[in-house]
Copies of this chain bind each other. A is one copy, B any other.
Amino acid sequence: MSCVFTLKQKGLKLTPQRRLIAEAIHDIPNHLSAEEIIAYVQEKMPGVNKSTVYRTLELLEGAGCVYRSRMDDGFVYHHAEEGHHHHLVCRNCGNTVDCDEDLLVSAEQAVADRYGFQVDLKHVVISGVCGGCARGT
């Protein structure tokens, strides 16, 4: 849980709430909505306020430990570690597919070559239709 070290390095305090929030982000592989993180945290430590969760997530994002992206409704959060993969989310059933990073790097490179624009698909939750839903199963 490198976030913890990062916080220390920045002189930020390591409270039980923050540990728990970092744990949620770290342990659950999917991207999480604020609501889900709040539920996870409050289950293990009832009484934690959602403002605290939001503030901590903002803190972790600023520290580079967490990515935050827009989803259809609200934000989703995901830990920011190397060895990335993209998240494909089915707009029909909501399921997530982890997509190997190298499938998209060539496209990113092509865009960079032609337009000088550095696309960052890591920060994007990519929506579409999963195989199951496309087949109508």
Contact = CB atoms under 8 A, between A and B. Distances in A.
Interface residues of A, number: 32
Contacts of A103: 107, 110-111, 114
How many subunits of this chain does the assembly comprise? 2
Contact of A130 (B104, B116, B128): B116
Contacts of A121: 126
A124 B126 contact: yes
Interface string A36-52: 00000000000000000
Q: Is the interface of A mostly helix, strand, loop or mixed?
A: mixed
A63 interface: no
In the A-B complex, list the 4 residue pairs whose CB atoms are closest, starting with the nearest.
A116-B131, A107-B107, A119-B128, A70-B70
Given A70-B71, A106-B106, A117-B131, 9 more contacts: A88-B119, A100-B114, A104-B110, A115-B131, A116-B130, A116-B131, A116-B132, A120-B128, A121-B126
